Amino acid sequence: MRPFLPEERLGSLLALLGHWGEVYGPVTTGDGVTAFRPVSDPGQLRLEYRRTLIPPKRFLLPPRETILTYSPDAGYQPLDTAQPALVLFGLHPCDLQGIAYLDRVFLEGVVDTSYRRNRQALTIIGLSCEPDEFCFCGAAGADLPAGCDLFLQRTPAGFFVTAGTMKGEEICDRSAQLFTLRQPAGTTPWHHPLADAICRGCAAGETFPDNPLWDRFAERCLGCGACSACCPTCYCYDVLEQGGLDGQAAERLREWDNCLFKSHGEVAGGVNFRRSRRERLQYRFLHKYYGFGALRGVISCVGCGRCRAVCPVEIDLAALFEGEDHDRQ
Amino acid sequence: MIRPQLAIAGLTACFGCQLTLLNCEAELPDIADRFNFTYFPMGMSSPDITADFDAALVEGAVSTPCDLETLVTLRNRSRLLIAIGTCAIFGGVAAMCNEEPRSRLLRTVYGPAADGLASFNPAPLERFVTVDFAVTGCPPERGELLATLAALLRGTFPALPAYPVCLECRSRENACLLIERNEPCLGPVTRAGCNARCPAMAVHCEGCRGPVAEANVAAELELLIAKGVSREELVRRLRRFCPEWDYEQRA
């Protein structure tokens, strides 16, 4: 028997979660975009959503943020304003995997203090999902990704509740009166054939250097960078300094960088490590499927399908694993 | 600290770029404290072009002998020459009809008086002089102008966005007008910096900030033609802010 939250008590759970911070969940914006926004009423939630346009990484690594300030009197000062506590409600397993990956990038070894500040402000509530034609995560219903405080397995009548952390246990304790006990029906874990193909290809070290898809991709890639901007595990950033008009004070900013941009591989003197669009696409492929640095060998594609859904010219790097016949254009 | 001597000039233009600077009301006292304005016809009485300048900020395209004389004088007298606005960098709106005979355009506007006018096809500053830095936009973003001035105080230039509008548009979580609305948005080939102001209001990008570096113009055209827009219409729209796109360019 497992704790079960009947659907009609979801509002009570949301109200209770408010104790841990402002609750953000998947909603449809006025623009028709699915995005994490503050929710107070379960009626606003899109429990059946497929994916948000921008993954939850924006709460950890904002598109642009000030990371330190300089003034002649105070010198360099890290920005240590406390982040308001947030509860991210309804993250799918792929996005939970994405956060678990970013945690490894920014918190293992040399700790990124700005990321840690943002991360510590988050309470994360996962939600099971139904895949669509764009996603291919291989592990629906598998183990809870690290760092997910509470996970809700949705059924027609409500949610089976699993705590993943101490904080999750605490939430369960505080909301025990909302739960009943039920016998979970056996869920059948499903395996997307593409996920299997990716795992096989990566295990074999495939980089498909002679695949004609590379040229076809490079020819039509607009270099808009949407694939990387919307990727839950793309974390490249640029650091720039902006002086104040007083000629003294300055801020150091970091903003999302993007391997599809010319500037990404550009160094002093106008030299560029990746001059062609083909090389930029290959670089992105290598990062996603083979990893760099301490995370070499870790596949960072979580199968959320965003890069396939947001590409204006339907480029899908994963198609390389399926063979060239699977290019959608 | 350096107290730079500035020249701010407008050639063939609407003077909206210079107006954007004047509209930075909260910052003007700081700017006046830190810079000497010596030649700024739009903003002062008795401008003096005979001084030596640390930087000349020049708006507009070059389309008359008088424009050219001002430009060359400023180039000779200024350590740095900074193009501000799309017209100064690409030719801009003033150059959108450069394919048509100049004499006919002049007669359409000035009637018989056109015959005595010395005027040639509007062209970007770079066609005539070396340009050290450029702040694009129609008009430029005030934040980018202010960042440029702040950088001048430190003897450097700011890092302004050189990537396409799409990055800013996506990070604002706008609906993609290309994909969701099937609209002929020019965001993928247009320089960012505007924070996707138009797409955020569901208006597709018109390309007012000019071509992004290494734009895949050919693929953008193919994509929009596939959406049902004619090539002629696309070329007309692209030419509105920059007359000299390379329509075959892919990288």
Per-residue pLDDT of chain A (329 residues; tens, 9 = 90+): 899 999 999 999 999 999 999 999 999 999 999 999 999 899 999 999 999 999 999 999 999 999 999 999 999 998 877 889 999 999 999 999 999 999 999 999 999 999 999 999 999 999 998 878 787 775 544 567 778 999 999 999 999 999 999 999 999 999 999 999 999 877 666 677 888 888 899 999 999 999 999 999 999 999 999 999 999 999 999 999 999 999 899 999 999 999 999 999 999 998 999 999 999 999 999 999 999 989 999 999 999 999 999 999 999 999 999 875 667 66
Q: Which of A64, A242, A263 sits opposite B163 (nearest CB)?
A: A263
d(CA B211, CA B86): 10
Q: Does B151 touch chain A (CB under 8 A)?
A: yes
Q: Does A242 touch chain B (CB under 8 A)?
A: yes
Contacts of A268 (CB under 8 A, 6+ apart): none
Q: Which of B30, B162, B178 sits opposite A312 (nearest CB)?
A: B178
**Which of B155, B140, B11 shows the shortest CA–CA distance to B72?**
B11
Q: Does A32 touch chain B (CB under 8 A)?
A: yes
Contact A95, A304 (CB under 8 A): yes
Please give the pLDDT value at position B1: 63
Please give the pLDDT value at position B2: 72
How far is A319 from chain B, CA to nearest CA, in Å? 20
Residues 36-65 (A) with a CB less than 8 A from some CB of B: 53-54, 58, 63-64
d(CA B186, CA B28): 34
Worst-scoring range by mean pLDDT, A143-152, B71-80, B188-197?
A143-152
Contact B167, A225 (CB under 8 A): yes
Worst-scoring range by mean pLDDT, A31-40, A135-144, B42-51, B81-90?
A135-144
At residue B27, does pLDDT exceed 80? yes
Report the residue of chain A nearest B28, measured CA to CA.
Answer: A245
**Helix/strand/coil for A177:** helix
Question: Is there a contact between A226 and B176 if contact means CB atoms under 8 Å apart?
Answer: yes
Q: Angle A113-120/A93-107 helices, nearest 10 degrees?
A: 140
Instruction: Please state, as a whole number, how many other Cβ atoms lie within 10 Å of the Cβ of residue B161.
Output: 21
Q: Chain B residues with CB inside 8 Å of A226's CB?
A: 166-167, 170, 176
Question: Is there a contact between B163 and A220 if contact means CB atoms under 8 Å apart?
Answer: no
Question: Is there a contact between B223 and A312 if contact means CB atoms under 8 Å apart?
Answer: yes
How far is A277 from chain B, CA to nearest CA, in Å? 7
Q: Which of B146, B213, B251 sits opposite A245 (nearest CB)?
A: B146
Sign of the Cα torsion A244, A248, A253, A257 reads positive
CA atoms within 13 A on the CB side of B42: 19
d(CA A299, CA A302): 8
Q: Does A276 touch chain B (CB under 8 A)?
A: yes
Report the residue of chain A nearest B184, measured CA to CA.
Answer: A312
d(CA A130, CA B47): 69
Over residues B181-196, the mean pLDDT reads 97
Residue with tokens 């399908």: A305
Q: In whole angstroms, how far apart are CA A112 and each of A118, A245, A250, A276, B1?
A: 10, 29, 21, 32, 34
Identify the burial level of B176 via C-beta atoms within 10 angstroms of its C-beta, where 0-12 means exposed, 13-18 middle and 19 or more buried.
Answer: buried
User: What is the number of CB-based contacts under 8 A between chain A and chain B?
Assistant: 116
d(CA B217, CA B226): 14
Residues 44-83 (B) with a CB less than 8 A from some CB of A: none
pTM for the model = 0.94
- Looking at the domain B5-153, which fold is it? Rossmann fold (3.40.50)
d(CA B116, CA B66): 14
Question: Terminus-to-terminus CA distance in chain B, angstroms?
Answer: 42
CATH 3.40.50.700 domain extents, chain B: 5-153
Report the residue of chain B nearest A222, measured CA to CA.
Answer: B216
Question: Is there a contact between B223 and A313 if contact means CB atoms under 8 Å apart?
Answer: yes
Please give the pLDDT value at position A141: 46
What strand order describes the sheet that includes B36-39? B36-39, B5-10, B53-59, B78-84, B133-135
Report the residue of chain B nearest A310, measured CA to CA.
Answer: B179
Q: Chain B residues with CB inside 8 Å of A70's CB?
A: none
Residues 5-24 (B) with a CB less than 8 A from some CB of A: none
Please give the pLDDT value at position A142: 53
